[in-house]
Structure formats: C-alpha cells, structure tokens
Amino acid sequence: MRGRLVGWVGCVALLVVAGACSRSKEGTPQAESTGTKSGAVVAGPAKVKLALNWVPEPEFGGFYVARETGAFKQHGLDVDILGGGAGVPVLQMVASGQAEFGTVGADELLTARAHGVDVIPLFAVYQTSPLALMAHASRGAKSIKDVLSSGTVALEPGMPYVAYLKKKYGFDKVKVVPYDGGVARFAADKDFAQQCFITSEPIAARKQGAEPAVFLVADEGFNPYQAVVVTRRELWKEQPERVKEFVAAVREGWRSYLENPAPANAVMGKLNPTMDAETFAAAAQAQKPLIETEETKAKGLGTMSRERWETLGRQLVELGLIEQAPPVDGFLLPEFTAPTAKQTP
C-alpha cells in the first residue's frame, strides 16, 4: 500500500475547510483561443488538472493512455496529470478548485461528504478493491480468518478495512504491528503477514524469493470502489458537458490500456523509475480482473451502482467512522451510474 493511505483520517479537517473555501471567484477552466489561416479565432482544448493519489503506476494507466493517444484532446480537453504520493490531499485539491478532477477511494469520498464536502464520483476504475492481506503460502492459510489466527500481521491503524476486519474476526489471536510500507520483513519471516495491494507488494515479495498467498478484503464483504474519479459539484453544475467529455475520454483510455498496457507503461516508467518494466507488466496483468468484471462488460468500464454506495455507507456507520451515511441521491448522479436494463451501455 506504500503509504498512499496515510493521513486518511487526518485530512478530514482540511477537507471541511476546503469545502467552505470554494474558489468561486476564480471561475472555471477556460478554453484557449487559437488562430487560423483565415484569421478567425476558435476555441482550443480546455486546460484542466487531474490529481492522482499516488505515483504513476498501472492503476492510473488509462488516464495516461487518454493523454498520450489524444483522447482527451479529441474530447476538447488539455489534461495535466499531477502525480501524487503519500499525504497528497487530493480531495482538498478538488474541493477547493486547485484541480478539476482527482482520484480517491470510495470510503474517503463518503467520509468527506459526511463532513460537508460536496464532491461527486464520476468513474470507478477498480470494481473490486485491490486491498488484501498476504501471508507465506507455506503457512497453509485458506482465508483472511486463517491469517488472523496466529503469527504477526502488519496493518495501518485507522483504516476502514482494518476496523472492518477487527470487528469481524478480532485481533486477539494475532500480534498486530504497524505497516512500514515494504516487504523486507515479510521476505525474512515466515510467520509474518501484512496488508498489501495485490498489484504491488505480492509482486515485490516474489522478486525477493518469497511465495505469498494473497487474500482480498473484498471477499470478506468490504469492497469500496478504488481509484474513483471525482470532481466538485460546482464544476458539474457550471460545465456538465465538459465533465461528461472527461469521463468519456477516461473510459476510452482505460479500454485501450486494458487491451495493450505496454505503451502507457513505458511513459509511466519514465515518470516513476523506481518500478521496472517487468513489475509494470505484472501489475497491469494482476489488476485487469479487478477493473474489467462481468458488470463492466455489460454496463461499461467505470460503472457504479447505488447498492454498492449504500452498502459502504452503512458499513462506515457501523464501524463508527461516520455518524450518518450521506444520502446516495445527494452525490450519485444518474449520468455516472450503471445503465438500467432498458438502456444501452
């Protein structure tokens, strides 16, 4: 998980401030004017920013494809992709207008909305959350319940999925230690287990000679959408067509990336030299079934359902992370939900 989840709770106060300080005076992104041979002036692509919540990796591949292949420009947009990292306040940036779009987790979005921040989801890259626990295959664990029955497990305190697992199974049979962001201890200790993204730490562990067994938290019933594209409602109200064009370009980009990730991986590899080409390829392969599911095949990439958001809201309330679940109709717009049976994908 590499630190991307650090500060999940601590940024709430900043988000409340951001929600109260919307940049209404600055207006919305403007299209550039370009000259033609006849001397006429036409509108060029509108400049907007997309703030990522982590460094360039395969989980963002579709966005880079949309930029590199010109999909964004074909939809009238000139998109500046801002790479993220630990502690980057994406929701604050979007809510305050520093960036028109951003990527966050669904649980982060609901928590922000519960504190009055009016951001809305547009497109969910991961239909199945990549959050998982990994243990050494030699232990013979068959599920997360088995992983939590003995040994040591490294987890990041304060995270919703950790609270969910603690409530479901308890941590009385396992020693819980803070997650340090790497796999060195895992590789050295057969009784050590840890949190992970299935697109990251398991791959790194195998490169160090370990053989991890990986168990998705989603299989335990906690499955928030991840890499959710969001914007502030103000932008949607003022420029709905521009927002729709952005989502259309993103969907095209992800379709192309799933079909051939190599070109975008090469671009991201130059921006993120800490990950080699082999790891980029392995991560792209590992994430594919989490992005393209039976539902997305029927209803389109990035689809979201009312039921999933309602379930997550109830879970966050039950875990004591928010007092009341934000009404789904208040943020989930019909333009960005799964089509009904009578609609075409």
The number of angstroms, rounded, from the C-alpha of 217 to the middle of its chain's C-alpha atoms is: 15
SS3 163: helix
pLDDT in tens, 49-67: 999 999 999 999 999 999 9
Do 135 and 109 fall into the same domain?
A: no
Query: What per-residue confidence (pLDDT) applies to 38?
Result: 34
Q: How far is CA 223 from CA 248, 303, 344, in A?
A: 25, 15, 26
Residue 4 pLDDT: 53
Residue 115 sits in the same domain as residue 140: no
pTM, two decimals, is 0.89
The per-residue pLDDT for range 78-125, each reduced to its tens digit, is 999 999 988 899 999 999 999 999 999 999 999 999 999 999 999 999
Percent of the chain's residues with pLDDT above 90: 83
Opening angle at CA 207, ends 202 and 212, nearest 5: 35
Find the length of the chain: 345
**Rounded CA gap, 276 and 234, in Å?**
40
Domain match, 115 and 171 both: no
Q: Are residues 123 and 233 in the same domain?
A: yes
Do 108 and 196 lie in one domain? The reply is no
Q: Is residue 342 part of a domain?
A: no
Which residues make Cβ contacts (< 8 Å) with residue 10, sequence separation at least 6? none
Domain assignment present for 280 = yes
| Pairwise CA distance, residues 340 & 299, whole Å | 9
Q: Tell me, yes or no, whether 114 and 232 share the same domain.
A: yes
Token match 């304060």: residue?
158
Round the CA-based radius of gyration of the chain to a whole number and report it. Answer: 21
Q: Which of 188, 204, 220 is the last residue of a domain?
A: 220
Q: Are residues 287 and 162 in the same domain?
A: no
Intervals of the chain under pLDDT 50: 6-13, 16-42, 340-345
Task: Quote the CA–CA distance of 198 and 284 in Å, as a whole number.
Answer: 11
Of 126, 147, 114, whose CA–CA distance to 16 is shortest? Answer: 114
Look at residue 15 in the predicted model and tell me its pLDDT: 52
Q: Are residues 189 and 245 in the same domain?
A: no
Q: Of 220, 239, 254, which residue is a domain's last?
A: 220
Boundary-marking domain end, from 198, 220, 242: 220
How many CA within 13 A on the CB side of residue 258?
19
Beta bridge partners of 194: 134, 154
Annotate 36-60 with DSSP letters as a single string.
Answer: -TTS-EEEEEEEEEEE-SSSS-GGG
In CATH, what number is assigned to the domain containing residue 158? 3.40.190.10
Same structural domain for residues 120 and 252?
yes
Write the pLDDT tens digit of every residue in 166-177.
Answer: 999 999 999 999
Q: Is residue 168 part of a domain?
A: yes
pLDDT for 43: 65
Residue 1 inside a domain? The answer is: no
Q: What end-to-end distance do the CA atoms of the chain give, in Å?
A: 33
Say if 341 falls within a structural domain.
no
Domain carrying residue 47: 12-128+224-336
